[in-house]
Amino acid sequence: MKKRLIMIMMSVMLTVSFAACTKEVNEDVETIDETDEDADDEDDEDEIDNDNGDDIKEPSEEKPAEKVDRVLGNDEYRVYFIDGDKPVLICDLSDSKGYIRSARLIGNRIYVVAYSNDSSKLRLSVYDCEGNLVDTPYTGKSGIFLNVADYQDKVYIDVYDYTTDLSYNSEVLIYDPETKKCSRDNDLEDVENKIRENDYTFLISGENSLLRTLEDFNGRIYVKNDNGTIFELDPKSGDMIKEIVTVNGSWYAAAVSGDYVWVNGYSEDNQEEYCTVYNLKNADSEKLYGGSADNRPEVVCGRNGIFYGYNQTDAYFHPDRQLFKYNAASRKMDILIEEKEKPGLTGYYYSPFMSGATVTDTDYYYLSDYDTKIGWKRYNFADKKVYDTGAFVHEYSWGEFAQVDAKKSIDYYPDNKDKALYKSYLEVVTIKDSVPNADKINKILRDMDDRFLESCADHTTVDVLDFDNENYWYSESNERTLNDIYKIGSHYLVINYDGYDYYGGAHGMPYRIHILFDMNTGDEIKLADICSMNDSAFKNLVAMKTVEDWKTGDNYYYNTYEDNPDYQNELFEEAKEYASKDMDVNYLADGIEVEYPPYYMGPYASGYICVFISYEELGININN
């Protein structure tokens, strides 16, 4: 839930408007099987002159080649190699307490940078295209940026240790995939350290790397300083060549294509978000596109000066998704794909930053939903069709047990009827007839849904004065989404919901709902119904397990890192007071999780602090 909330907040902060741009909606987008590639031959190749007199080609409108480009797709835990209709799972860290930082396909090798979940260790692993691990050329500690670059027909590893304030420690290594050996490039390493000593930041967001900058800008170096000024530097010495432009406010370079850089920012003078495309070769810093505060895309780049991105259109929660093609030379914006987000498929967000979306000359690869699955699709620029790739990230187990629909109530800004917030969003779970006592279970669920909608009926739109005495407004809202449905033991069904309740202020409050049904009877079961342990013993067990969890440091409690000899006793007593066999807990296959809400045992940023207790320790026979 914590990760999910963070991702929601990130998505909210990244929204600004495309309203100033020309939009052409393609009504002919259809999803077809990967093997069905009969497309109309649209031999319509355009060339557009940019302001420097260079020809910039639109993507070819010819019939797609028989062999699809080889690409990678990665989410937080998995990397897929997609080669035509034969996707290969390269690595899966979902069960190994790690997550993917980046993945690159260079030649016939796949370079995966991964962190441990607590960010204490970083590793670069090299795989072949069949998913076999062939080398681990680099491992390091926390506090390191590591990037792999394809520059001048060589594989570079660029490492920067940002934990020291006294010296700048960058390593630039050339990696030979045949001999599996690394050699240092001292010249480039000296240039990188010199640039860092001048407190410059390399321009591409999330890739604070000299080599990735040289790769993206074809041998040129662009950096920015703390004042937001972009400079071009000499790639051989690191000295300044010229000042390009000063960008006001807080901003980052989201993507680059050729001479064009897409900037996402926040204007501090008028407190609005914006996005702008700059031509870095133009000393006059021509502003090619700018947008105000409605919807901003998160972008990846193809070639030919074209930018791609997803857009949120009408609300903070569960927006429709749109894929745009923006041509920096022609200043033209087209909507290529529009998709509805499906109820129940929460947890994955369709941002290119999160999904590892990939653009080639012919196709755009992206994560999308397949009924009860999440996997990669590809949009072909020539025939304007969407193809399944067969590369799936995740299958949702709830599809075996239930159908999920959505109900929502929308409130609009008084002065802008196109801008909306949900007053309520409810995902409605209907258990399938194949589940024993489905009718009785569904009656309990419908009554709970009715109570949720009734509680949201009085939500209001509220005008509030900000610190500058200017009006803004918010809409009170409550969302409840399905997390998962699964069976445990011999005859128990678990339904888990995630919720987020907002009544104004900096943020709302998350909540969770866990329901346990006995499929033999259709009754809702509480922990007290299956746990025969007396109340005092249960409270002591919860308190003891909470103190053990605090000692491991896996969760951030208020006093996790403070030297407080009395805190252990305080924590024990607080957990003991909180514990009750009537409280809500999460039911897992082998035990329960006691969940402490935000602010109870730790700060809001900690999310839920979860303490596991096995059924054996509780004296519960889940198969009884």
Q: Is the pLDDT of residue 437 over 90?
A: yes
Q: Which fold has domain 396-525?
A: Heat Shock Protein 90 (3.30.565)
Please name the amino acid found at residue 605: A
pLDDT of residue 336: 84
| Amino acid letter, 241 | I
DSSP label of 68 = P
For the segment(s) 526-624, the CATH number from 3.40.50, 3.40.390, 2.30.30, 3.90.640 is 3.90.640
| Dihedral sign from CA coordinates of 189, 192, 194, 196 | negative
Determine contact, residues 183/173, Cβ cutoff 8 Å. yes
Inform me whether the pLDDT recorded for 43 exceeds 50: no
State the sign of the Cα–Cα–Cα–Cα dihedral 437, 439, 443, 448: positive
* Beta strands 287-291 and 298-301, pairing class: unpaired
Give pLDDT, residue 56.
30
pLDDT of residue 293: 42
Strand, coil or helix: 503: coil
Q: What are the tens digits of pLDDT across the range 560-613? A: 655 566 788 888 999 999 999 998 899 999 999 999 999 888 888 888 999 999
pLDDT above 90 as % of the chain: 38
Least confident of 154-158, 366-370, 479-483: 366-370
Q: How far, in Å, CA of 80 to CA of 103, rounded?
A: 10
Average pLDDT over residues 519-526: 96
Edge-first strand listing for the sheet containing 492-502 = 402-413, 416-431, 477-488, 492-502, 509-518, 523-525
pLDDT of 86:
77
Q: How far apart are CA 20 and CA 277, in angstroms?
A: 13
In sequence order, what are the residues at sequence separation of 6 or more whose Cβ sits closer than 8 angstroms to the Cβ of residue 230? 203, 222, 223, 224, 243, 244, 245, 246, 247, 278, 280
Q: What is the pLDDT of residue 363?
A: 86
More confident residue, 292 or 263: 263
List every span in the chain annotated with CATH 3.90.640. 526-624
Helical residues (DSSP H) of 417-526, grouped into ranges: 438-456
* pLDDT of residue 49 exceeding 70: no
The winner for highest mean pLDDT among 81-85, 132-136, 163-167, 196-200 is 132-136
First to last CA, the chain: 31
pTM, whole model, 2 decimals? 0.73
Based on C-alpha coordinates, what's the Rg of the chain?
27
pLDDT digits (tens, 9 = 90+) for 370-409: 778 888 888 888 899 988 888 887 788 899 999 999 998 8
Q: What burial letters (b/e) apply to 508-526, b meaning 16+ CB within 10 Å?
A: bebbbebbbbbbeebebee
Task: Choose the weakest-confidence range: 30-34, 174-178, 342-346, 556-560.
Answer: 30-34
Tell me how far apart the alpha carbons of residues 203 and 209 are, in angstroms, rounded to a whole number.
9
Place of tokens 């990665």: 74
Specify the pLDDT at position 19: 26
Lowest mean pLDDT among 45-49, 247-251, 578-582: 45-49
User: pLDDT grade, residue 94 (50/70/90)?
Assistant: confident
Q: What is the pLDDT of residue 64?
A: 37
Q: Which residues of 291-313 are buried (b: 16+ CB within 10 A; e: fewer)?
A: bbbbbbbbbbbbebbbbbbbbbb
What is the mean pLDDT of the segment spanning 239-268?
Answer: 84
SS (H, E, C) 311-355: EECCCCCCCCEEEEEEECCCCEEEEEEEECCCCCCCCCCCCHHHH
With a cut of 70, say whether residue 51 has pLDDT above it.
no
The whole-number average pLDDT for the span 291-315 is: 61
Question: What is the DSSP secondary structure assignment for residue 604, as one 8-state letter?
Answer: G
What is the band of 352 on the pLDDT scale with cuts at 50, 70, 90? very low
pLDDT at residue 621 greater than cutoff 50: yes
Which of 102-106, 251-255, 614-618 comes out lowest in average pLDDT?
251-255
pLDDT score recorded for residue 168: 64
pLDDT at 63 over 50: no
| Segment holding 402, helix H or strand E | strand 402-413
Pairwise CA distance, residues 602 & 575, whole Å: 12
Mean pLDDT, rounded, of the chain = 79
Tell me what the mean pLDDT of segment 78-83 comes to: 88
CA-based torsion, 549, 550, 553, 556: positive or negative? positive
What is the arithmetic mean of pLDDT over 282-302?
A: 60
Q: Which carries the bigger pLDDT value, residue 291 or residue 477?
A: 477
**What is the per-residue pLDDT for 140?**
82
Residues of the chain with CATH 3.30.565: 396-525
More confident call, 621 vs 66 = 621
Neighbouring CB atoms inside 10 A of 564's CB total: 12
At residue 118, the pLDDT reads 67
What pLDDT is stored for residue 411 in this prediction?
77
What's the distance, CA 348 to chain centroid? 7
